[in-house]
Amino acid sequence: MASLDDLLALDGVVAAGEFGRDGSLKDHKANMDMSPELAAGTAQFCASVTMLFDVLAGAYGHIARMNWLPQRGWAFSGGDWTVAVGGNKGVFVKTAEADFNRLFEVLVGPR
């Protein structure tokens, strides 16, 4: 499992954090100005979206007869930024600077 330092060292990553399933912030590190409130809110966001994808993956897998569980990771990209999550860790990434193959290899493991 990658450490926050490992994640922060990846191209384009400016913040890395670890969250609990309940949305609690376990730890975070950043190379950007990130207030404690933003870090805590981001942990809640990541936990909520992860939980939502768990539910949707189960339902869609049943409808499509495709196996989508267990969830390994997810990403959202908009504007100049991407949020990527693997397990209980997530990162803020400058989209234009990211190597997404390497990012997901470190976040969720090899293909």
pLDDT tens string, the chain, 111 residues long: the values are 799 999 999 999 999 999 999 999 999 999 999 999 999 999 999 999 999 999 999 999 999 999 999 999 999 999 999 999 999 999 999 999 999 999 999 999 887
- pTM beyond 0.85: yes
- Judge whether 109 lies within some domain: no
Domain housing 40 = 4-99
Inter-CA distances, 89 with 5, 21, 29, 111, Å:
12, 11, 11, 18
Q: How many domains does the chain have?
A: 1
Residue 67 lies in a domain: yes
Q: Three-state DSSP class for 97?
A: helix
Q: Is residue 79 part of a domain?
A: yes
CATH number assigned to the domain comprising residue 70: 3.30.450.30
Specify if 34 maps to a domain: yes
